[in-house]
Amino acid sequence: MKILFIGNSHTFVHYVPLRVKHFLEEHGLDADVTMLSIPAVGLDYHLQLSQTYFNLMCGDYDAVILQHNAHPFPGKQSLQENGRKIADLVPEKTKIYLYMTWSEKNNPDGQKVMSEAYRELGAAIDASVCPVGEWWWKIKENYPDELYFEDGEHASVFGSSLAAAVIGRTIMAMHLEMDELYKDAKRLEELKQDRKMIDLVMKDGQLNVE
């Protein structure tokens, strides 16, 4: 299965695509993942790039996973307008998935707006929604593990692992259940990363890409 991820830092931090690949393969599905991600941009930015068009038209992907701005979330209109534009470029054979992100640590009420926007877009373009943000808050309320990175916006290794578990289960049409998702995330959290790969770090209280 060939999968294209289009997003920003919430896609590349702790390598959600790599963790999704591992999840799918441990469940018997061979996966080839490609990532187009740039920090702090949304789908509107990706629409301006030739690499987006080229990958969608020529990549022969089975699935594309779309992720818009999250912090701050620019609102329903922005997500729907740009999500529809990208959906118009996606070949018929390529299944669209929407990677619903989570609201900021100090903004739990923001999740409702984000969730509604992703679900409405999913219905409008016949895409499957990967409800990461909704499960994020359920897991946060029921387990002690820290989901957030130090900035209160990005994911910890565990948070990225939870995102991958939700996405992987959605792709495979598996049941989403709290205890099972938690177990999946704990397994994926143990994956080792190549130190040469880009990730987020905090230096002198500031967020940096390293």
CATH number of the domain residue 60 falls in: 3.40.50.1110
Sheet order of strands, 128-130 included: 32-37, 2-7, 63-66, 95-99, 128-130
Please report, as a single letter, which amino acid is at residue 176.
L
Q: What average pLDDT does the structure give for the chain?
A: 94
Domain that holds residue 127: 2-209
State yes or no: pLDDT of 198 exceeds 60: no
**What is the pLDDT at residue 157?**
93
Q: What is the rounded CA–CA span in Å between residue 136 and residue 146?
A: 11
The domain total for the chain is 1
What predicted TM-score, i.e. pTM, was given to this entire model? 0.94
State yes or no: pLDDT of 210 exceeds 60: no
9 close to 39: Cβ distance less than 8 angstroms = yes
Q: What is the rounded CA–CA span in Å between residue 41 and residue 64?
A: 17
pLDDT class of 193 with cuts at 50, 70, 90 = confident
State yes or no: pLDDT of 57 exceeds 60: yes
Mean pLDDT of 51-60: 96
Q: What is the DSSP string of the chain?
A: -EEEEEESHHHHTTTHHHHHHHHHHHTT---EEEEEE-TT--HHHHTT-HHHHHHHHHS--SEEEE----TT---HHHHHHHHHHHHTTS-TTSEEEEE-----TT-TTHHHHHHHHHHHHHHHHT-EEE-HHHHHHHHHHH--S--B-TTSSSB-HHHHHHHHHHHHHHHTT----HHHHHHHHHHHHT----TTS--EEEETTEEEE-
**What is the pLDDT at residue 199?**
67
Q: What is the rounded CA–CA span in Å between residue 114 and residue 135?
A: 13
**What is the pLDDT at residue 208?**
64
**What is the pLDDT at residue 180?**
98
167 close to 132: Cβ distance less than 8 angstroms = yes
Mean pLDDT of 167-173: 98
State yes or no: pLDDT of 125 exceeds 70: yes
Burial of 94 (0-12, 13-18, 19+ CB in 10 A): middle
**pLDDT, tens digit, for every residue of 72-100?**
999 999 999 999 999 999 999 999 999 99
